[in-house]
Amino acid sequence: MAKAQAKKTSSGKTVIVTQIAGADGKGPKMKETLIGLGLGRVRATRELQDTPSVRGMITRVRHLVRVEEKGN
């Protein structure tokens, strides 16, 4: 049986994520999620591909980040 492969999309859409609050006292999963997004300190900013996995991570830490849509 063949393994299912994840569908990769290169829609060209990106989001700019900026951390606006620290994760201290929020639990280890919040901190790990911020690190997974490439953040880790307040005012850190990253431009990321707009994928379902990134959106899920943003949803988990939505109270700690600011998101700006950017389409190409």
pLDDT at 9 over 70: no
Please report the sign of the dihedral spanned by the C-alpha atoms of residue 10, residue 15, residue 18, residue 24.
Answer: negative
Please report the sign of the dihedral spanned by the C-alpha atoms of residue 59, residue 61, residue 63, residue 65.
Answer: negative
We report the CATH number of the domain holding residue 42 as: 3.30.1390.20
How many structural domains does the chain have? 1
8 located within any domain:
no
42 located within any domain:
yes
Share above pLDDT 70 across residues of the chain, in percent, rounded to a whole number: 83
Q: What pLDDT was estimated at residue 1?
A: 53
Q: CB burial class (10 A; 0-12, 13-18, 19+) of residue 26?
A: middle
d(CA 62, CA 12): 23
Q: For tokens 């201290």, what's the residue?
A: 24
50 located within any domain:
yes
Residue 11 confidence class, pLDDT cut points 50, 70, 90: low
The tens digit of pLDDT for each residue in 41-66 reads: 999 999 999 999 999 999 999 999 99
Q: What pLDDT was estimated at residue 2?
A: 59
